[in-house]
Structure 1
Amino acid sequence: MSQAKVWVLLVLATLFWAGNYVFGKYVVAELTPVSITFLRWVLALFILLPIAIFVEKPDWKKVKQVWPTLLLLGLLGIIGYNIILYTALGYTSPTNAALISAVNPGLIVLFSVFLLKESLSKVQVIGLFVSFFGALIIITQGNILGIFEMNYNRGDLLMVGAVIVWTFYSIIGKRLLIPPITATAVSTLLAMVVLAPFAVWEGIDLSAVSSISIYGILYMFLFSSVCSFVFWNMSVRKIGASQAGIFLNLIPVFTALISLALGETILAEQIIGGLFVFIGVYLTSGMLSKRMEQVKKKKELSKGA
């Protein structure tokens, strides 16, 4: 898979996750975090498992050998992250949640450097800070200093926990040597086995759920669950957790665009912040460095001729 395809997959993954923030705020008002998580991922299994079995055709002996790791991934990325996220959205706004999630790339970079011995160039480090700065502009509406005056509630603190959970999910996923879709499918299956008793105990009554929540669940299952997780795992395997993590800063940008489509106003600060985010992603993804190397090689070839 080429580098360009990896970037496209990461952009799509973050776009679909942005929709999860928006729909999540509506759905959590009618269903519990456990019910939401169970419904979207059980539905996702009907797509993930056939793809894993008939497309990737993995070596199931190897899959069986790493089942403890897959279970851990399911507990972290499927159960832990989603339940914490939806619980947080019950107390805080999608804006605050997106602001705190913007810390994720930095944490992934730091943990990847220390735990996976990954390295970043100076240009990529600059890109990390540029994209983070852009995310702050978007979410604080241009009042960067206002971030220090915010009163963090229970939802904000829960989002910090969600960010930490996702960081470890990303790093552990990098270590697996089985196909990414298979890893997602099996970890989801194991997670649903664990979560099923809790979902049954709570009970899921869809008769009293509004149509927007039904559409929200369908969106979450197809795009936020199947597409985003598969795209994310494929990309992390290819370019590493630290470089993939920077694309998470695109979530606030796409959240703003989705809000615009729903009738909300897009501010100038959000547009400016979006530009910073895209520039930061461009730098951290290594596209600039790769372009400079190509230019350098062309100059060397021209001199040799």
Structure 2
Amino acid sequence: MKNFKIWILLILTTLFWAGNYVFGKYVVEEISPLWITYSRWVLALFLLFPIALYFEKPDWKMVMKSWMPLVLLGLLGIIGYNLILYSALEFTSATNAALISALNPGIIVLFSVLLLREKLSRIQIVGLFISLFGALIILTQGNLGSILNTDYNRGDLLMIGAVIVWTFYSIIGKKISIPPITATAVSTFFAMIILTPFALMQGINLSEISSMSIYGILYMFIFPSVFSFVFWNISVRSIGASQAGIFLNLIPVFTALISLLLGEVMRIEQIFGGLLVFIGVYLTSGMLSKSLSHFKRKKHDQKCA
């Protein structure tokens, strides 16, 4: 029963994150990526800090000792990732953006090998290449012969940049001992201090914003920014990051389903490329190796019994 409740939380988490892509595609037509990022996360601060205080009761002296990496997390994960993501949605579909973002776990593993000297098994290496091949199919719209061309969709290329930025954010985040919701709240606070002068310089014309965009911003700040993050951390603490990480593959699935309901047509190369990305990420994450070792251990225990 406990695991069932956690699975529900993880399904809601990924559903809310999927909605961020879909709403972002609509909102970016009226509001700039900078102001989407700024308004979403400024509002989120009013919920993140009280939640962090209630659930984590942070040691603020320890938090302030880590101010430099927290500023870096704010620059990468709050400003960099979101600006690139919403910029990408100006040029590509929500489904494509979500499918390319599914590379994240595999790319994180790759950079962990390069930067943290972590080791990869043969299965993980094969998985990494399969997921990259799937991403290439999506990027080239199924025409791998055009791989050397320079006329790729700008949004798809930006999404690869967003994946790389999130990878560095994740690697740095691994090294910080601050509780996760507190780290998000404080890094968001630093990010908003940095972003405020740029937002003020750019300005925003409120009279040109429709009610749909306002609802979109409210959705982004309440659900992907706050609920998803809190649900994610509750789940990770309960069943571990490796098991919870499997549910991240639902984000492109939910994004595609929501987009289909709104009239977007799925192309065969998106389906095939996305499937390869999922398979590759599953292998790269080490889940297959863990399942096999668990199966062997169980079989050995049965023989000994």
Q: Compute the TM-score of the two structures, normalised by the length of structure 2.
A: 0.80
Deviation at 1:153, TM superposition (A): 5.9
**Cα distance change on mapping 1:154 and 1:273 into 2, 3 Å:** closer
What's the secondary structure of 2:31's corresponding residue? coil
Q: More deviation in 67-76 or 239-248?
A: 239-248
Percent identity (aligned): 71
- Deviation digits for residues 46-101 of structure 1, max 9, x if unmatched? 22111111111121111010011111110111112212322333345546645654
Q: More deviation in 82-91 or 174-183?
A: 82-91
Q: What residue is the counterpart of 2:79 in the other structure?
A: 79
**Cα distance change on mapping 1:298 and 1:236 into 2, 3 Å:** closer
Q: Which letter maps to 1:195?
A: L
- Deviation digits for residues 140-162 of structure 1, max 9, x if unmatched? 55444455546036555544443
Q: Which letter maps to 1:218?
A: L
Deviation at 1:180, TM superposition (A): 0.6
Q: Distance in 1 between matches of 2:121 and 2:238?
A: 18
Q: What stretches of structure 1 of length at least 5 have no aligned partner? A: none
Alignment of 1:22-37 (within 5 A): 22-37=22-37
Structure 1 position 302 matched with structure 2 position 302: yes
Q: What stretches of structure 2 of length at least 5 have no aligned partner? A: none
Deviation at 1:111, TM superposition (A): 1.8
Could you tell me whether the CA contact under 8 Å between 2:99 and 2:274 is conserved in 1? no
Q: What residue is the counterpart of 2:50 in the other structure?
A: 50
Q: What residue is the counterpart of 1:259 in the other structure?
A: 259
Q: What residue is the counterpart of 1:64 in the other structure?
A: 64
Q: Which letter maps to 1:152?
A: Y
Could you tell me whether the CA contact under 8 Å between 1:131 and 1:276 is conserved in 2? yes
Could you tell me whether the CA contact under 8 Å between 2:109 and 2:284 is conserved in 1? no
Q: Compute the TM-score of the two structures, normalised by the length of structure 1.
A: 0.80
Q: Which letter maps to 1:82?
A: N
Could you tell me whether the CA contact under 8 Å between 2:71 and 2:190 is conserved in 1? yes
Deviation at 1:43, TM superposition (A): 1.4
Q: Distance in 2 between matches of 1:67 and 1:100?
A: 32
Q: Distance in 1 between matches of 2:125 and 2:239?
A: 16
**Cα distance change on mapping 1:43 and 1:203 into 2, 3 Å:** same
Could you tell me whether the CA contact under 8 Å between 1:105 and 1:249 is conserved in 2? no
Matched residue count: 304
Q: Distance in 1 between matches of 2:263 and 2:73?
A: 37
Deviation at 1:244, TM superposition (A): 8.8
